[in-house]
Amino acid sequence: MAQTVGIAGFGTIGTAVATRIARDLPGLELLAISAGRRDVAETRLRSLDLTVPVVSAGELAASCDIIVECAPTAAFLSIAEPALAAGRTLITVSGAAILEHPGIVDVARAGGGQIILATGALLGLDAVRAAAEGVIHSVRMVTRKPPRSLRTAKYVVENGIDLDSLAEPLLLFRGSAREGARAFPSNVNVAAALGLAGIGADRTELEIWADPTKLRNCHRIDVDADSARFGFEIENIPTDENPGTGRITALSMIAALRAIRAPLRVGT
């Protein structure tokens, strides 16, 4: 029997996920979506030749087994709370929102729901989770993004930082992953995920650079633990529609969806 899926947020990520469910994810049925702009969402659905209704977040939670959350960060709670209270599975990339609202885990526990934080935009988290079963001494992450990927970031806008004429790399932030997630809630969900997987967001060190020499969103992570010492890098290609979001982010959510129904699951 197919499990029903609802998508909350129908922008770059939601569109990619909806298209793949309709074409290439057996055992899953796209039942409905919710979006901030119903008219825009309905137009996009027609362009994709998809005939599913646009409903409220509450209706999505009431009718769908799985909710894929890919809405703006500010909408996270309005989507997550009813879904988890109803015992649904919530797939999200909003690590920053989970850090900002840790009580959402209690909502999931009380309602019998589950949060799956899709982390395909950051490799190596299986190793980090394994190391966290022992003792991790330190975790450090350095993010370097082309200026256009950070132009609309909360911290950049609030501080009036001009990135358009940047000629050399500029250090925008140095601190903990928790602090970075608050300053850049839509840009460093990967840092939040790293903190949640390892020694916590307060002990995870983070640097964020606007780097005009980069064409991709680049992350370097170094971990020192009693079980292993390792480092890894990833260079994510930005989407054309939203340079702050890598193409692999939507694929991460698709992979998480596929794993729910897969007879063989590789990775923890």
pLDDT for 68-91, tens place per residue? 999 988 899 999 999 999 999 999
Check whether 150 has a pLDDT greater than 70. Answer: yes
Q: What is the pLDDT of residue 44?
A: 92
Active site residues: 219
Q: pTM to 2 decimals?
A: 0.92
Q: Please give the Cα distance from 227 to 28 (Å, whole number).
A: 39
Same domain, 167 and 98: no
The mean per-residue pLDDT over the stretch 11-16 comes to 92
Q: What mean pLDDT is reported for the chain? A: 93
Check whether 55 has a pLDDT greater than 90. Answer: yes
Percentage above 90 pLDDT, the chain: 80
Percentage above 70 pLDDT, the chain: 100
pLDDT in tens, 179-197: 999 999 888 888 999 999 9
Same domain, 157 and 208: yes
Same domain, 23 and 130: no
Q: What is the pLDDT of residue 124?
A: 83
141: in domain: yes
Rg of the Cα atoms in the chain? 18
Same domain, 117 and 8: yes
Q: Please give the Cα distance from 240 to 150 (Å, whole number).
A: 14
- Exposed, middle or buried, 125 (CB in 10 Å: 0-12/13-18/19+)? buried
Same domain, 208 and 255: no
Same domain, 91 and 107: yes
**What's the domain range around 56?**
3-121+248-260
Q: Following CA atoms 153, 102, 71, 23 in sequence, which dihedral angle do they give, to the nearest 10 degrees? A: 120
112: in domain: yes
Q: Please give the Cα distance from 81 to 205 (Å, whole number).
A: 30
Q: Which amino acid is residue 72, in one-letter code?
A: P
pLDDT in tens, 113-140: 999 999 877 778 889 999 999 999 999 9
Residue 189, annotated as binding a ligand = yes
Q: Please give the Cα distance from 125 to 183 (Å, whole number).
A: 23
How would you classify the pairing of strands 28-34 and 217-225?
A: unpaired
Residue 121, annotated as binding a ligand = yes
Q: What is the pLDDT of residue 268?
A: 61
Same domain, 14 and 115: yes
